[in-house]
Amino acid sequence: MISKTTMMGSVAATMLMAGASAAQAAQAQPQDLLPPEKPAAKPAPAVTPSVDEAFGDIKVKPGEVVQPLPAAPKPILASWKVPQARELLRFAEAIGTEGLDPKDYLLTELKAAIAAGPGAALDKAASRSFQYLVEDLRDGRTPMEARRQWFVVDPDPDRLPTQGLLDKAVAGTPGSVAAVLTGLSPVNPDYGKLKAELALANDPARRKLIIANMDRWRWLPQALGKFYLLTNIPEQKLRLTVNNRIIKSYRTIVGKPGRTATPQLAEVVEAVIYNPTWTVPQSIVKGEGLGAKVLGNPAWAKAAGYKGTKGADGVVYVVQQPGPNNSLGLMKLDMPNEHAIFLHDTPARELFAHENRALSHGCVRVENAREVAMTMSMLGNMKTKDDIPAIQQEVSAITAGGKYTRYPLANQWPVYLTYFTMASDVDGKMTSFADIYGRDAPVLASFARPRQANRARKTDEEVVEIVDDLQTS
């Protein structure tokens, strides 16, 4: 039986009540910054060129249908009035309060264009300054190559395209330019706390650290959702959050520095796996000799819960069966991703008492994982508090049965693996955390260099498939 079911039911009920106050939290949700959508234009028809037509040196055969070459991206451009441009200038000159530098936004050109009055020069200068501000406030200033092991693709550029924001800003009443730009800030309360810290900070090193972590919030979606799990890797804690309110927190064990460092991800928990099996990676089966040991010593293998088979190709495969010694413990959260990263239990629970818990092969081990599993099962499937007892009973029977069971969640939960070296701790106090993976330096260095335009949205950094997880470090 899983213990503390009454307490977990209380947690689930608290979550329902927190969810009921979603209307109060709606004020913190992203604003609708775009004008109404226009009907989509019909695609250009295919062309049937004559025999003499060609693209470069490539001749086109008679009757061959050729799609037009893709058009070059249209410049971000709008017609500006001088008062609007002055509003933009004032906003850009004060952008230091957001941890950004006014010199990045072409203010000399903007001032000259304002002095010259309305026309093409003003339209171009103001539109470009506005575009740069949008990109940095919405997406973050840090270029992708400085975001080490960052594998999140921010949806905000698709949700809030720059041209749409520009059209909204210049079509509005006085104050619309500043309102559109201000509305791009992350809605998580931590961003506001960091901004307040920046206003008070005088130490240059502290200011730089605050600025770097403010930018990290901009790398993420503007709003993380009404409910989610969040792990701040340097803090080595997991937070179960509803409407930006931490309902419960747990200690975690994260990846060792180096190749097994835990990457930064945004995924979805689709199910809870009870009594998981562990398919041992070949780096351990072959590289560490586990396969030979399992096949050569059946009694030891049985006691340790391992089953080994040799394929027709001669490769040895080892699977650790469910049980108290399983390296994944008694549960894992199923969040499919190319890194093979997930949150799971561990039989080595004494490690949660360590202050430094960067000990795993990359996955995130969770303290009180059975409580997490039960809570997620309830929250992911219940509609009212009346559903709690039945779910508790069902999951308790699954756990006691000891068989591998995938328990799907009807309401799938976002989970964010983040890396903040300055943030509110689980008690709400602004705290600095050790930069255990050395990820601050490239971010800070990028702020010391000129702003980079045309930044990539997706990293080309290598995906390191995690081989988690052994019972000890």
Per-residue confidence band for 10, with pLDDT thresholds at 50, 70 and 90: low
Report pLDDT for 30: 66
> Is 155 or 63 the better-scoring residue by pLDDT?
155
Each residue's pLDDT tens digit, 119-153: 999 999 999 999 999 999 999 999 999 999 999 99
> Which one has a higher pLDDT value, 455 or 38?
455
* Highest mean pLDDT: which range of 108-122, 299-313, 355-369: 108-122
Q: What is the pLDDT of residues 216-262, one digit of tens each?
A: 999 999 999 999 999 999 999 999 998 888 989 999 999 999 988 99
Please check the confidence at residue 22 and state whether its pLDDT lies above 70.
Answer: no
* pLDDT-based confidence at residue 40 (cuts at 50, 70, 90): very low
Which superfamily is assigned to 224-277+322-473 in CATH? L,D-transpeptidase catalytic domain-like (2.40.440.10)
Burial zone of 347 (CB within 10 Å; 0-12 exposed, 13-18 middle, 19+ buried): middle
**Mean pLDDT of all residues in 18-23:** 48
Asked which of 35-44, 157-166, 204-213, 344-353 is least confident by mean pLDDT, the reply is 35-44
Q: pLDDT band for position 4 (50/70/90)?
A: low
Amino acid 54: pLDDT = 31
- Residue 70 — pLDDT band, cuts 50, 70, 90? low
- Sorted by sequence, the CB contacts under 8 Å of residue 20 that are 6+ apart come out as none
Distance CA 451, CA 134 (A): 13
Give the closest residue to 346 by CA, choosing from 258, 249, 473: 473
Please tell me the predicted confidence (pLDDT) of residue 44: 44
Res 462: pLDDT: 83
Average pLDDT over residues 16-32: 52
- Give residue 49's pLDDT: 35
Task: Please check the confidence at residue 19 and state whether its pLDDT lies above 80.
Answer: no
Residue 443 reports pLDDT greater than 50:
yes
Q: Write the pLDDT tens digit of every residue in 254-287.
A: 999 998 899 999 999 999 999 999 888 887 898 8
- Three-state secondary structure of the chain: CCCCHHHHHHHHHHHHHHHHCHHHHHHHCCCCCCCCCCCCCCCCCCECCCCCCEECCEECCCCCCECCCCCCCCCCCCCCCHHHHHHHHHHHHCHHHHCCCHHHHCHHHHHHHHHHCCCHHHHHHHHHHHHHHHHHHHHCCCCHHHCCCECCCCCHHHHCCHHHHHHHHHHCCCCHHHHHHHCCCCCCHHHHHHHHHHHHCCCHHHHHHHHHHHHHHHHCCCCCCCEEEEEECCCCEEEEEECCEEEEEEEEEEECCCCCCCCEEEEEEEEEEECCCEECCHHHHCCCCHHHHHHHCHHHHHHHCEEEEECCCCCEEEEECCCCCCCCCCEEEECCCCCCCCEECCCCHHHHHCCCCEEECCCEEECCHHHHHHHHHHHCCCCCHHHHHHHHHHHHHHHHHCCCEEEEEEEEEEEEEECCCEEECCCCCEEECCCCCCCHHHHHHHHHCCCCCCCCCCCCCCCCCCCCCCCCC
Residue spans of the domains in the chain: they are 74-202, 224-277+322-473, 279-316
Confidence grade of residue 5 (pLDDT, cut at 50, 70, 90): low
Which CB contacts under 8 angstroms, 24+ apart, belong to 194-201? 194/99, 194/422, 194/423, 194/430, 195/97, 195/98, 195/99, 197/422, 197/430, 198/97, 198/99, 199/97
**Percent of the chain whose predicted confidence (pLDDT) is above 90:** 67
Which pLDDT does position 175 carry in this prediction? 96
Q: Residue 456: its pLDDT value, please?
A: 93
Tell me: the pLDDT tens digits for 95-112? 999 999 999 999 999 999
Q: What's the rounded Cα separation, in Å, for the pair 274 and 399?
A: 6
pLDDT at 244: 82
**Residue 226 vs residues 23, 32, 33: alpha-carbon distances, Å:** 11, 17, 20
State the chain's mean pLDDT as an integer: 86
CA distance 420 to 424: 9
Q: Flag whether pLDDT at 333 surpasses 90.
A: yes
- Tens of pLDDT along 163-209? 999 999 999 999 999 999 999 999 999 999 999 999 999 999 999 99
Looking at residue 327, its pLDDT comes to: 87
Return the CA Rg of the chain. 27
What is the pLDDT at residue 98? 98
Cα–Cα distances (Å) from 470 to 242, 244, 404, 411, 422, in that order, read 32, 34, 19, 31, 30
pLDDT average, residue stretch 60-72: 49
Within 13 Å, how many C-alpha atoms sit on residue 181's CB side?
A: 24
The model carries a pTM of 0.84
